[in-house]
Structure 1
Amino acid sequence: MAAPTIGVLSSLLSKLATMADQKYAKVKSVRREITFLTDELSSMNALLAKLSDMEEEVADDAQLREWRNKVRELAYDIEDRVDAFFAAAAADDDDQHPGLIRRAARKIRNLRASYQVADQIHELKARVMEVSDRRLRYRLDDCVAAASAASLAIDPRLPALFSESKGLVGIEGPRNNLVSWLMDGEFELKVISIVGFGGLGKTTLAKEVNQRVGSQFQLKAFVSVSRSFNPKKLIRDVLSQIMDPKKYGTTSGMDVEQLIPILRKQLADKRYLVIIDDIWKIQAWDLVKSALPDNNCQSRIITTTRIITVAESCCSTIKDRIYHIEPLNEVESRKLFFKRIFPTEYGCPPHLEEVSNQILKKCGGLPLAILSIASSLANKPNIKEQWEIVKKSIGFALEGTPTLEGMNKILLFSYYDLPSHLKTCLLYLSIFPEDYVIESDKLVWRWIAEGLIVREMGKNLEQAGQICFNELINRSMIEPVGVRYDGKVLACQVHDMVLDMIISLSAQENFVTILLQGYEEEVMGEKIRRLSLRCNLPDAEVVQVTSKKFAHVRSMSLFGYKETLDLYGFQALRMLDLGQTVLFKQVKNIGKCYQLKHLDLSFTDIVELPEEIGTVQSLETLDIRYCKRLRMASTVGGLRKLVRLLVDYTVVLPDDIAGLVSLQVLSCASYNSIKFMQGLGQLAELRSLAFKCWNPDWDCDAVMYKKVSVASLRDLGKHKLQHLDISDDDAILDTLMCSSSDCLFPHLQKLVLSNHNIQRIPTWIGSLVNLSHLEIVVKTTRQNDLFTLGMNLPCLLYLKICRLYAPVERLIVQNQGFRCLKELYFQCWCPLGLAFAPGSMPWVQTIRLWFMPCYKSCDHGVVGIEHLTQIRLVDVETNMQVKSFEAVITAAVANHPSGPELVLRNSFERAAAQKKNWTEVETASGTLADPLQAPRQKHL
């Protein structure tokens, strides 16, 4: 697979272009060699791009695979050398020595370094020439051309079209739902799109619906599109099933423009059912849509796809429906599995129960996977050891067992269809253990640190990375976990079968090396590029196994139990994640990792960040959240490339932070230094800030501290600040919050104010026209405040108000108030007085109410829920049972035409439930469980 190779070559070519302009290139021989390397590698990259586009055809060509592997390793080695050159140059530039003698000494050093670079580049040139000669010698370009003309293998989805209904499991419910949607009596053309991951049974379900209702249509056709979309073939396939054979023969020489009018004429006055199976591109649907007329004859179209955006394109009108096909549940999975192996579904002997459950868990409800593995086991003796072998080798067995080859091809179809950069991003997920919940933001930052994200026009790297993450979800390659009110997916998981596939592909590419206890020598290649360490070996044993290969490790992620880590010898390390390493306390020689860009020590027991961290000038992300005993290094303030600094409130940051000139994200910190606040205001790139202001030391001038803090925040607001979270129990920023009517933060999108001394909602908040998220704690809220928020914040999607005092008037959300709001959280320590007027909050889907009534009767309550037309969830929490209020809210929700869900909970019960399930993900609100309470995840 060529995708990772293309990724590293693209990054390398960009760096070589930069290197050509550096001081090392002043030596003519160096400049010539760099030009030669660039030209040769560009030519190789072009051929690799062809290989990536036709991986399915060339996967079995040994010569192409071997050449591709050589190019990949060569590109890695060259990039490591180039990065080392850059690091040395940056260190020399930072050495600002005055004086004539020292300047002359520096010139001599630079000249000597230039010739050293020339020697190393000459060595690399020899390797590049060797790889290029091999390409010519074996005529690899001809191999690629021949492979592209080769015929494709038999479509592994064909058996689904001819399977017997009696052997299917879990099909009745989905089939009946689709039949009821299709046969609703409406005369207009209706489209139903079945969407889901490969192997879930989309084709089988469409075929079952066709068999159930097909006889009620005058004309019907069932055609497959597949990845290799051929417009002419698609139209001709439909015509061949609805047209008289004699007339159809006359269309053989026609092109698409001639065929479409013929098809439309055939269907013009007929009730038809056309099923278009396996659509991969929106363009394919556009063609289908243009060829199938809306003839007002109760005609129907069914499409199947793995891609959500394609399904949405098919179902573009209100009458159309998208059906998200779900995996089989546990009962259905067991039934399908055992029916294939034993005479009855209850025939599994007791000694195979446990291993059967483990196999079914790995299948994750995919019918195709269950049937494929069951077919493999059906021919084996019912011996537990034999079944254990199959379970352990499921991922690898996909490649070599005939009964599993169809499953392998189904999974690979989705992989092959990915653009090369998405293939690389997907393979990267093989780093994480099975069932691991991967936070989207952390994943994007890791992709960026390793150079896997390419900047797109008009977007920064983080935005481009988020697009890649969303596209993998759109293509059903990863499963979303936790969807926020604005649609942002907070985390993901990888299906076990997909994980097995990408682990296998990563091993072939030497992309990720997984170090498991007892399997060290088996899984390691000649050089380790990315290491996923999942064992509890003592440090000495780990070093003994891997010491010769550490010099090439670019990425290391630890999942297990370790106390210390010595990074001596990790010259190429760019990403280090110890955030899931239990009992981790110390890191040594981190200053040797001069290329390190991403360092995650969150949730560890580390007590000290070494002062040498200041020498790691490439560092862009430093995550040390929830390290309760950590003592911060004073040298952190000198990390000029640091973009994200994530700390805990208990960590004391150095006073001198003005040197963090690239810093964009700072959270969650607490400060008590005037110098710190002065430096904070100088961080012109800062766009996300979360901090807690403590009361200054007695020796500090409180008035000056307050003045400096306000001035710094005003300065940040003038620049790029988009997210601001302030917790200030001592009202140090009370002036900023309550006494100004200016637009302090014109670019602000998220604002969280937890100052318990704020009297009312500040008037200047109403001027934040870009604000989409607002959380505020106030002593009281009046109708005018709610009116200001509801009418003046056109982008507001999430609103949380915590009101501390008793209301002096009922709060009414007026007509057209909060026109875009998706979620409302209203918290009050007194009886509620909240009402929704007709036409208010037209898009709100979730309302959360928390209150602690002063009396057991609640006369105010909540009025007008029936006016919220899009409401899906009403979540009410109180500290006691208030029967009158519960009766009113229950009746209001029960009578709502949309039938929203109602959750009534007691605060104490909720606390107990959270304690029982620490890893809960609240998908309704789109927020992950509190990481302060969540224990470290163990996936060993």
Structure 2
Amino acid sequence: MAETAVLFVLGEVLEFLKEETNLLSGVHKDFLDIKDELESIQVFLKDADIRAADEADTNDGIRTWVKQLREASFRIEDIIDEYLRLMHRAKSNPSGCRQSLFCKIASLIKTLIPHHQIASEIKNIKISIRGIKERSERYNFQISQTPGSSSSSNSSRETDNRRWHDPRLSSLFIEETAIVGFEGPREELSGWLLEGTAERTVISVVGMGGLGKTTLACLHHRFSIIHRPLLQMLHKMDDKSLILQVRQYLKHKKYLIFFDDVWQEDFSDQIEFAIPNNNKGCRIIITTRMMQVADFFKKSFLVHVHNLQLLTPNKAWELFCKKAFRFELGGHCPPELKFMSKEIVRKCKQLPLAIVAVSGLLSTKAKTVTEWKMVSQNLNLELGRNAHLSSLTKILSLSYDSLPYYLKPCILYFGIYPQDYSVNNKRLTRQWIAEGFIKCYERRTPEEVAEEYLSELIHRSLVQVSIVEGKVQTCQVHDLFWEVLIRKMKDLSFCHCVHDDGESIVVGSTRRLSISTNLNNVLKSTNNSHFRAIHVLEKGGSLENLMGKLCSQSSILKVLDIQGTSLNHIPKNLGSLFHLRYINLSYTNVQTLPKSVGELQNLETLDLRETLVHELPHEINKLEKLRNLLVRHSNYKGNYSLLGYTTGVRMQKGIKILTSLQNLYHVEVDHGGVDLIQEMKMLRQLRRLGLSQVRREHGNALCAAVAEMKHLEYLNISAISEDEIIDLNCISSPPQLLRLHLKARLQKLPDWIPELECLVKVRLSFSMLNYDPLQSLKNLPNLVSLCLWDNCYDGEIFHFQNGGFLKLMTLNLRCLYKVNSVVIDNGTLLSLEHLTLEKIPQLKAVPSGIKLMHKLKDIHVTDMPAEFVESFDPDKGQDYSIIKHVPLVFVRHSHGPNLFDYDIRTIHSSSKES
């Protein structure tokens, strides 16, 4: 949308003018003129975008105007970046030529020509924008009520034109017999409506578009219309009179009020005083896609929230058959269509509206495999052009259209990744930051603001997440919403996605390129100079050619993500990518980095995890803007050793310059010694630190360095050998620490660990403690994950005492060679969901306390004694009753030297057996 592009580049211009105080003569005024023109245009951008996207509006001139404005915004971005690159090159001119007249003349020529070209381009952009503004007057755009923002409300013109075409209306009139899969949610809502307190109560149904929120809510009431003259009178009232009139009307009534599809976060404040609390059991039902709306009500109302989920696979199939074969075949799928029907239902990803729309389309088709296969194969195309599916597309698009402008490029980024791709949240948010999507305010870091943006998208029911250890780890969008994003990206020149070997490359103004196919033929005729981000998501093909072209052509590239590809080498001229802010080389075969990496003065993230890089060039210490330096290699092969499982990287002294670092792991400190560790005292912004090959003599320096890291959330320390004793007791308690992993022999568990109120995860290995560490850890108030590994305890009995570990969800006991008994008091570990017992050769009996852990979802048993495994055998084990309530029990036995060489057997409990 032009609104997003213009507001984004307007922010870039303002930042540019603020930072660049020594602009070329005349350039500053030209940029000020461009800023003024953009500000005068932005007040009607929202209406321009609505009309350009309206398929009923046949005025191609409006669409052309929006496209021209968007492309002008791109030109402004590019010229700012080119100016900054030129200024950097001028400042870094080699000093050796300063005394040579020839060098001075050559340098002057090289500088003046580009300066003149930049000034000329800026003037052309200014003229272009002025012309765009003048042409806008003929289209009679409406001024937005809130310039620079987006909301779900449309202009009055659009509302009048579409009153009878709202695709959401059908949800209000669905027959009850046509509804499938709402049995559980309906029962819960009925309980909240008919039972409970007499106090005024809000029942909120929250979920993504198309889940059936309105349908579910309408199962519980029938519509009645307030007297029409009263409605007409209310329409003419001011806010105060309206509140008084509604309040008086409801004062003595037991009422049920239904607000459908609420988008405004502060809607609660708008209706609070109009709806009296008369203690008659009154109820208010709202449906919304935004969790913030439901949460806002909690300030003034008693609130029940039902987070509506996707249908189960069985219910999805039932709904499909009910709709596709409604008037024939008795509502049953014929055998010859069953395979293809299952495939179609799978593509709908259990979204009720999608199933209803697609099955409705199929109900009009001939019941042949050929016909249905054609629909299945072209479902993504049908979404954009088939009248049967238009309501589905419009409802899903509403979620995008309603976003504020700053979230639109963030959600579009999900379209860069393949369908059904689950992307790591850190990878995603770091790319947002590199692209400039994240605008910081007050004292918040870019990472904090990016997480806030992601959280807002989650709460708007647009992003689905997996949560591990209390934090979002990976996320994705529903497949059908992904299809909507793909079309939006194409319309907005946001990204071109290449999924097919024979697909041609669009070389226009497209800003990003995503490749998920073999590279061999994709890049031969492609000009890479206009891409700001390139993502390669496929192993096949030669990456060396791509890297060579990028380093010679891509002067404005900011994001390069080639994770998991077959890349072997990095070109020596990598440093020519001046604007590069994010480079992800993880899971490639890269072995070394060129010295020119030190020229990447804007680099923020360097991801080298699971590469073959074991030493970084000294030039890495020049990167003052570097925020994330991620280097780690895991050894999955050969005889497993926890201490040798993860190796890090060697770094040269000079690391103290990298004061912007937020994440640094893993560094092999034995190479740099005490001097290197002492330099780390300057890295006061660190959130995550991983150090390996630590020696006893490093202890004091390490404690002193950690004491300076007031924001530290994750600390991982590994000794150089199992017998190396590391004294960490001198560390002053890092108050923000969330995760702690110590792989070292300890004379005692540091006193500061039990004081860490924020700690959610602890791993102890090789510590050889001569007393049960559970007594020190049991009262940690937020601990959700505990791993006790590799002889962390030198005793025989682990005792989980009553009253401890109230929030613990994951417990992992492994390689404890002296432990012969695990005692779990009744009523302990009641929040536990995941239990792992591995290589505890003296443990023969299943802990009886497991019997009362009703939240336990799975138990993993690996290389345990035969006597232990036989004791819970479903047929003959005397302890089977202890674990029979657990849905899944996995039994593994190693059969090879590598980490994942094992056989696996799955035991289903009797109560959950499928």
Deviation at 1:526, TM superposition (A): 1.7
Return the letter of the residue paired with 1:75.
S
Question: What is the CA distance between 1:907 and its match in structure 2?
Answer: 5.2
1:167 match: 178
Which of 693, 713, 717 in structure 1 is aligned with 2:707? Answer: 717
> Does the C-alpha gap of structure 1 residues 774 and 248 become closer, same or farther in structure 2, counting only changes over 3 Å?
same
Mapped to 2, the partners of 1:662 and 1:434 lie a distance apart of: 35
Q: Deviations over 1:621-673 (max 9, x none)?
A: 11121124777555434333322111124564342452544332112343431
**C-alpha distance in structure 2 between counterparts of 1:287 and 1:261, whole Å:** 13
**Alignment partner, residue 775 of structure 1:** 763
Mapping 1:721-760, distance limit 5 Å: 721-730=712-721, 734-737=725-728, 740-741=729-730, 743=732, 745=734, 748-755=737-744, 757-760=745-748
Q: CA–CA distance in 1 between the matches of 2:218 and 2:902?
A: 44
Counterpart for residue 647 of structure 1:
631
Taking the aligned partners of 1:917 and 1:575, their CA distance within structure 2 comes to 42
TM-score (normalizing by structure 2): 0.82
Distance across 2 between alignment mates of 1:203 and 1:684: 52
Instruction: Give matches, 1:482-493, under 5 Å.
Output: 483-486=467-470, 488-493=471-476
Match of 1:37 among 16, 34, 37: 34
Query: In 2 relative to 1, CA 184–612 (structure 1 residues): closer, same or farther, beyond 3 Å?
Result: same
1:800-824 Cα deviation digits (max 9, x unpaired): 4446445477746576x66776666
Instruction: Kindly provide the CA deviation profile for residues 342-381 of structure 1, in whole angstroms up to 9, marking residues without a partner as x.
Output: 4136665666555443432222122222222333344444
Q: Residues 101 and 379 from structure 1, CA distance in 2 versus in 1: closer, same or farther, beyond 3 angstroms?
A: same
Q: Do the aligned partners of residues 865 and 787 (structure 1) sit closer, same or farther apart at CA in structure 2, a change above 3 Å counting?
A: farther
Residue 10 of structure 2 is matched in structure 1 by 10
For 1:131-146, what aligned pairs fall within 5 Å after superposition?
A: 131-139=129-137, 142-145=140-143
Deviation of 1:188 after TM superposition, in Å, equals 4.3
1:492 and 1:99, CA in 2 relative to 1: closer, same or farther beyond 3 A? closer
Aligned-residue offset at 1:179: 2.6
Q: How does 1:579-618 map to 2 (within 5 A)?
A: 579-581=563-565, 583-588=566-571, 590-618=574-602
Q: 1:92 to 1:732 in 2, by over 3 A?
A: farther
Task: Supply the distance in 2 between the matched residues of 1:163 and 1:915 (Cα, whole angstroms).
Answer: 54
Q: Deviation per CA, 1:203-257: give whole Å up to 9, x if none.
A: 111222326xxxxxxxx76xxxxxxxxxxxxxxxxxx43xx66766765643343
Measured after TM superposition, the shift of residue 799 of structure 1 is: 4.3
Q: Is the 8 A contact 1:563 1:586 kept in 2?
A: no
CA distance in 2, matches of 1:790, 1:638: 45
Letter in 1 for 2:837: W
Measure the CA separation in 1 of the matches of 2:903 and 2:36: 57
Q: SS at 1:198's partner residue? A: coil
Q: Are the counterparts in 2 of residues 806 and 831 from structure 1 also a CA contact under 8 Å?
A: no
Amino acid at match of 1:432: Y
Q: What CA distance in whole angstroms lies between the structure 1 residues aligned with 2:831 and 2:770?
A: 21
Q: Which amino acid aligns with 1:542?
A: V
Match of 1:79 among 69, 77, 80: 77
What is the match of residue 605 of structure 2? 621
Q: Which residue pairs with 1:70 in the alignment?
A: 68
Q: Structure 1 residues 914 and 110, CA, compared in 2 at 3 Å: closer, same or farther?
A: same
Q: Which residue of 1 aligns with 2:157?
A: 150
- Is there any run of 5+ residues in structure 2 with no aligned partner, and where? 145-153, 634-646, 907-914
Give the match's secondary structure for 2:219: helix
1:195 aligns with 2:175: no
The 1:656–1:562 alpha-carbon spacing in structure 2 relative to 1, beyond 3 Å, is farther
Q: Give the drift of 1:388.
A: 4.8
Q: Take 1:84 and 1:515, find their aligned partners in 2: how far apart are those partners?
A: 28
Cα distance change on mapping 1:105 and 1:380 into 2, 3 Å: same
Equivalent residue for 1:301, pick from 284, 296, 303: 284
Does the 8 Å contact 2:699/2:727 carry over to 1?
no
**Alignment-derived partner of residue 129 in structure 1:** 127
The answer (yes or no) to whether the contact 1:12–1:75 under 8 Å persists in 2 is no
Structure 2 letter corresponding to 1:402? A
Q: Which amino acid aligns with 1:850?
A: L
Query: Relative to structure 1, is the Cα distance of residues 634 and 33 closer, same or farther in structure 2, using a 3 angstrom cutoff?
Result: same
The offset of 1:386, in angstroms, is 5.0
Alignment of 1:375-774 (within 5 A): 375-382=360-367, 387-481=372-466, 483-486=467-470, 488-517=471-500, 520-521=503-504, 524=506, 526-538=508-520, 541-547=521-527, 550-560=528-538, 561-564=540-543, 565=546, 566=548, 567=550, 568-581=552-565, 583-588=566-571, 590-628=574-612, 633=617, 635-649=619-633, 650=647, 652-658=649-655, 659-674=657-672, 677-678=676-677, 680-681=679-680, 683-685=682-684, 687-694=686-693, 706-707=696-697, 710-712=700-702, 714-720=704-710, 721-730=712-721, 734-737=725-728, 740-741=729-730, 743=732, 745=734, 748-755=737-744, 757-766=745-754, 768=756, 771-774=759-762
- Number of equivalenced pairs: 855
Quote how far apart the aligned CAs of 1:187 are.
4.2
Shift of 1:116: 3.7
Q: Secondary structure at the match of 2:142?
A: helix
Amino acid at match of 1:760: K
Contact 1:394/1:500 (CA < 8 Å) preserved in 2? no
Shift of 1:71: 2.3
Q: Measured at CA, do residues 409 and 864 of structure 1 come closer, stay the same or move farther in structure 2, by a change above 3 Å?
A: closer
SS in 2 for 1:39: helix
Is the 8 Å Cα contact of residues 553 and 570 (structure 1) preserved in structure 2? yes
User: What is the alpha-carbon distance in structure 1 between the residues aligned to residue 903 and residue 448 of structure 2?
Assistant: 33
For residue 850 of structure 1, what is the aligned residue in structure 2?
Answer: 837
Please tell me whether the aligned partners of residues 7 and 452 of structure 1 are also in contact (alpha carbons under 8 angstroms). no
- Measured against aligned partners, the alpha-carbon deviations of 1:826-856 in whole angstroms (never above 9, x if no partner) come to 6655134555698x88x95657463665556
Matches within 5 A, 1:145-294: 145=143, 148-152=155-159, 153=162, 154-184=165-195, 187-210=198-221, 240-241=225-226, 251=234, 253-294=236-277
How far apart are residue 439 of structure 1 and its match?
Answer: 0.6
Alignment partner of 2:535: what SS?
strand
Equivalents in 1 of 2:265, 2:158: separation in Å?
A: 25
Residues of 1 paired with 2:886 and 2:39: CA distance?
58
Q: 1:698 matched to which residue of 2? A: none
Q: Distance in 1 between matches of 2:812 and 2:273?
A: 46
Q: 2:285, 2:485 → 1: CA distance?
A: 31
1:109 is displaced (CA, Å) by 4.4
Superposition deviation, residue 392 in structure 1: 4.6
Q: Which amino acid aligns with 2:764?
A: I
Partner of 2:353: 368
Distance 1:812 1:332 in 2: 42
| Contact 1:714/1:745 (<8 A) preserved | no
Distance 1:718 1:558, change over 3 A: same
Per-residue displacement from partner, 1:16-71 (whole Å, max 9, x unpaired)? 3146413xx2x432333333333333434454366569987799464343223222
Give the partner amino acid of 2:490. A
Shift of 1:467: 0.8
Amino acid at match of 1:624: L
SS where residue 736 of structure 1 aligns?
coil
- Sort the Cα spacing of 1:140 and 1:636 in 2 relative to 1 into closer, same or farther, 3 A: farther
Alpha-carbon shift at residue 309 of structure 1 (Å): 2.8
Amino acid at match of 2:749: I
Q: Which residue of 2 aligns with 1:90?
A: 88
Point out where structure 1 has 5 or more consecutive residues left out of the alignment: 212-219, 222-239, 696-704, 895-899, 921-940
Deviations 1:496-524 (A, max 9, x none): 11001011011000001012325633x72
Mark the CA change 1:192 to 1:36 in structure 2 (over 3 Å): closer, same or farther: closer
SS in structure 2 of the partner of residue 489 of structure 1: strand
Once the two structures are aligned, what percentage of the paired residues are identical? 25
Q: Deviations over 1:122-164 (max 9, x none)?
A: 3232233123223213416732349834041232111122222
RMSD (Å), alpha carbons: 4.2
Distance 1:59 1:21 in 2: 48
What secondary structure is seen at the aligned counterpart in 2 of 1:543?
coil
